[in-house]
Amino acid sequence: MREKLFWGSLIFIAVYMALPWVMSRMLGWGVIRQGGKGQIALTFDDGPDPVYTPRLLDLLKERGIRATFFVLGSKAEKHPDLIRRMHEEGHQIGIHNYTHLSNWLMTPWGVRKRHIRRSADIVEGITGERPLYYRPPWGILNLFDYGLRREFGIVLWSVMPRDWRSSIGRRKLKNHLLNRVTDGSVILLHDSGETFGADRDAPSYMLSALTETLGTFEERSLQCVRIDEMTGSAKRGTAESGVGRRMLYSVWMLWERCFIKLFHVVPVDPDNTFLQVRIREYTGSTPITFLDGEEIRKGDQIVELHLNNDMLFHLGKESRSAMHLAIQLIRRTEQLLPQILRLMETDPSYKNAKGLYGISLIHRGPEQLGFTILDLPKGVFSKITQWYLRVLMYVIHPQGKKRLKTKSELLVPKIIAISKKELMNRYIA
């Protein structure tokens, strides 16, 4: 009986709590957390606060900025004047529950009736306009909260500077905003420090940091907009926001971690894990012949080259174009080749390796680093490899599916290899 109760509780926790966490926080499924190019959304939780919200509204009015406030219904009841001012000054008002309680600790009907709809009724009674968006406290959803999407857009975030703690200070908070905010960012900030775990004076540091960063956002051509304006302009299904692509990325990274463990793939440099390697025998039936006269035959030891696909994914997101991505790959690889050579010369496991070997769709450019580019022998392995690498290209490339359709005849996997002798000629310290 106890065992059944244990497993029943575990299944309940997994389905009611853990599954929506993965769906919303890890995969971004069914939630809004990213917008389009040239826009950012400032969002403020836990208010309205009689001390800090008026100061924030003054700042936003002075800069001509419209934001989104996710308010607590209980505070809206106490401070209807602030809710009215938000509305009159063009800001969007969303719901953040009646009080700051986690949805995991409440029944689905309790969340809807006693918190969300109750709070929406309060705001509508003050402004005459019913809120359209909802953000759960701490971003925590239970499984049944997804049914709320028929009434409200569920909003999370892409940038969270942890401004609820005063220990972060103005300078750290400012640097976090300047370093993390980019096109489409949904920024989570707080205009009240009265909720559990927050410091009462924390919003003062947020206000100081925000005052100093708004000008920089403008210089970067990032327009501050409301959530409804952002969702109206953001294109569904783009490389960055497509649900399918994010799900595929998460599954891919899980496979990646399993592969690394199973096949003992290790980073060349623990502090820079972009390039990873493993030692194995060359199994190809066709020898690899290099211009320097060296040759790798079946059964010879080789160092197999792997890229850190998690880093590659983020490089792809940040790259302005395919050319920009390719240049970054070449530069990062060049920086680490001397360390690979050092590994081959000093580590007993790698001493007998005759060269460095990999298979890639990105094979224009490595020849300038000394690599030989060869066709992959036709066959089942070649077809499987091409499919595998095309899926990877879809996941990591800044243009996603569009890149697969553009000059698809060029997306052919090739062998890239360099002999140990050539590595020594070029990269010996």
Provide the pLDDT for residue 426: 87
Beta-strand ranges (E) seen in 100-247 are 133-134, 153-154, 186-190, 223-224
Q: Do residues 226 and 41 lie in contact, with contact meaning Cβ atoms separated by under 8 Å?
A: yes
**295-296 and 288-289 beta bridge pairing:** antiparallel
CA within 13 Å, CB half, 152: 25
**301-307 and 272-281 beta bridge pairing:** antiparallel
The pLDDT tens digits of the residues spanning 148-186 come to: 888 899 999 999 999 999 999 999 999 999 999 999 999
Q: What share of the chain has pLDDT > 70, as a percent? A: 81
pLDDT at 205 over 80: yes
> Across residues 119-132, what is the average pLDDT?
94
Is residue 238 in some structural domain? no
Residue 311: give the domain boundaries.
243-427
> Across residues 186-212, what is the average pLDDT?
94
Interatomic CA distance for residues 44 and 67, integer angstroms: 8
Is residue 410 in some structural domain? yes
pLDDT at 48 over 50: yes
Higher pLDDT, 98 or 316: 98
pLDDT at 23 over 80: no
Give the pLDDT band of residue 388 (cuts 50, 70, 90). Answer: low
Q: Do 159 and 290 sit in the same domain of this protein?
A: no
Closest CA to 154 of 162, 146, 166, 144: 146
pLDDT at 390 over 70: no
> Across residues 23-32, what is the average pLDDT?
80
Q: Do 226 and 266 sit in the same domain of this protein?
A: no
Alpha helices (runs of H) in 183-321, residue ranges in sequence order: 202-219, 227-233, 243-262, 309-318
Q: Do 284 and 204 sit in the same domain of this protein?
A: no
pLDDT at 311 over 70: yes
Q: Do 423 and 338 sit in the same domain of this protein?
A: yes
> Across residues 75-91, what is the average pLDDT?
96
Provide the pLDDT for residue 172: 94
Give the pLDDT band of residue 8 (cuts 50, 70, 90). Answer: low
> Across residues 46-61, what is the average pLDDT?
97
Higher pLDDT, 367 or 420: 420
Q: Which residue has the tokens 């310290």?
A: 429
10 Å Cβ neighbour count for 371? Answer: 25
Q: Of 100, 176, 190, 397, which one is the catalytic site residue?
A: 190
In this prediction the pTM is 0.55
Q: Which residue has the tokens 């929506």?
A: 20
Q: Do 120 and 229 sit in the same domain of this protein?
A: yes
Interatomic CA distance for residues 85 and 243, integer angstroms: 36
Q: Do 68 and 210 sit in the same domain of this protein?
A: yes
Give the pLDDT band of residue 377 (cuts 50, 70, 90). Answer: confident
10 Å Cβ neighbour count for 318? Answer: 12
Q: Do 167 and 286 sit in the same domain of this protein?
A: no
Instruction: Give the list of residues 6+ apart from residue 408 with CB closer than 8 angstroms, or none.
Output: none
Provide the pLDDT for residue 177: 95
The token pair that represents 56 in the structure block: 């924030």
10 Å Cβ neighbour count for 232? Answer: 11
Q: Return the C-alpha torsion angle 257, 258, 260, 263, nearest 10.
A: 180
Domain boundary pick from 209, 233, 257:
233
> Is residue 190 annotated as part of the catalytic site, yes or no?
yes
pLDDT at 238 over 90: no
Interatomic CA distance for residues 224 and 38, integer angstroms: 9
Closest CA to 153 of 145, 161, 164: 145
Instruction: Give the list of residues 6+ apart from residue 332 with CB closer than 8 angstroms, or none.
Output: 274, 275
| Average pLDDT over all residues of the chain | 83
Query: Structural domain tally of the chain?
Result: 2
Provide the pLDDT for residue 234: 42
Closest CA to 369 of 425, 325, 411: 425
pLDDT at 424 over 70: yes
Domain boundary pick from 206, 233, 260:
233
The pLDDT tens digits of the residues spanning 249-301 come to: 676 677 778 888 888 899 988 888 888 999 999 988 889 988 888 999 999 99
Is residue 72 in some structural domain? yes
Give the pLDDT band of residue 241 (cuts 50, 70, 90). Answer: very low
10 Å Cβ neighbour count for 251? Answer: 12
> Is residue 115 annotated as part of the catalytic site, yes or no?
no
Is residue 8 in some structural domain? no
Residue by residue, DSSP assigns 56-107 as HHHHHHHHT---EEEE-HHHHHH-HHHHHHHHHTT-EEEE--SSS--GGGS-
CA within 13 Å, CB half, 360: 21
Is residue 311 in some structural domain? yes
Provide the pLDDT for residue 391: 66
pLDDT at 318 over 80: no
Q: What is the DSSP letter of 210?
A: H
Q: Do 46 and 157 sit in the same domain of this protein?
A: yes
Interatomic CA distance for residues 228 and 93, integer angstroms: 10
Q: Do 347 and 250 sit in the same domain of this protein?
A: yes
Q: Which residue has the tokens 């924030």?
A: 56
Q: Do 221 and 321 sit in the same domain of this protein?
A: no
* Angle (deg, nearest 10), helices 309-318 and 243-262: 150
Is residue 259 in some structural domain? yes
Is residue 181 in some structural domain? yes
The mean-pLDDT minimum among 68-77, 122-131, 300-309 falls in 300-309
Provide the pLDDT for residue 233: 45
Q: Do 83 and 229 sit in the same domain of this protein?
A: yes
Domain boundary pick from 198, 233, 268:
233
Q: What is the DSSP letter of 221?
A: T
10 Å Cβ neighbour count for 331? Answer: 10
Q: Do 66 and 192 sit in the same domain of this protein?
A: yes
Q: What is the CATH number of the domain that holds 137?
A: 3.20.20.370
Provide the pLDDT for residue 257: 81
Secondary structure (3-state) at 364: coil
Provide the pLDDT for residue 3: 53
Provide the pLDDT for residue 36: 85
The pLDDT tens digits of the residues spanning 166-176 come to: 999 999 999 99
Torsional sign, CA 74, 106, 116, 51: positive
Q: Which residue has the tokens 């996603």?
A: 400
Greatest extent of the chain over all pairs of C-alpha atoms, in Å: 83
Is residue 14 in some structural domain? no
pLDDT at 319 over 70: no
